Amino acid sequence: DIVLTQSPATLSLSPGERATLSCRASQDVVDFLAWYQQKPGQAPRLLIYDASNRATGIPARFSGSASGTDFTLTISSLEPEDFAVYYCQQRSSWPPTFGQGTRLEIK
């Protein structure tokens, strides 16, 4: 199975700051990588698919990029509702796999 390694495990920032979350794949996943946001007590929500495409209804402050096996989720200016756990997930190889998550917390 493809292993996705997310870093950092926890990111402490203030509202208005820029957040940069990373996900590294253990092998090539092309651009078949998605990002999800999960808040306590809720299901994950799709933010970005295929590395850089925003899902329906996702604000423009969320963006994704890729460089080889390294993927980045950027939140340009944090809003209070953005503090949550973020997961990456690959669909390049069966079975699909998820990263272990990055917790974005208020500093």
Partner 1 sequence: QVQLQQWGAGLVKPSETLSLTCAVNGGSLTGYYWNWIRQSPGNGLEWIGQISHSGGINYNPSLKSRVTILVDTSKNQISLNLSSVTAADTAMFFCARSHISRQLTFDSWAQGTLVTVSS
**34 binds partner 1 per the rule CB under 8 A:** yes
| Cα–Cα distance for residue pair 59/9, rounded to 1 Å | 24
* The only residue of 45, 54, 61, 103 in contact with partner 1, by rule CB under 8 A: 45
Question: If binding means CB under 8 A, how many residues of this protein chain bind partner 1?
Answer: 23
Mark 63-92 with x for binding to partner 1 (rule: CB under 8 A) and - for no binding: ------------------------x-x-x-
Rg (CA), the chain: 13
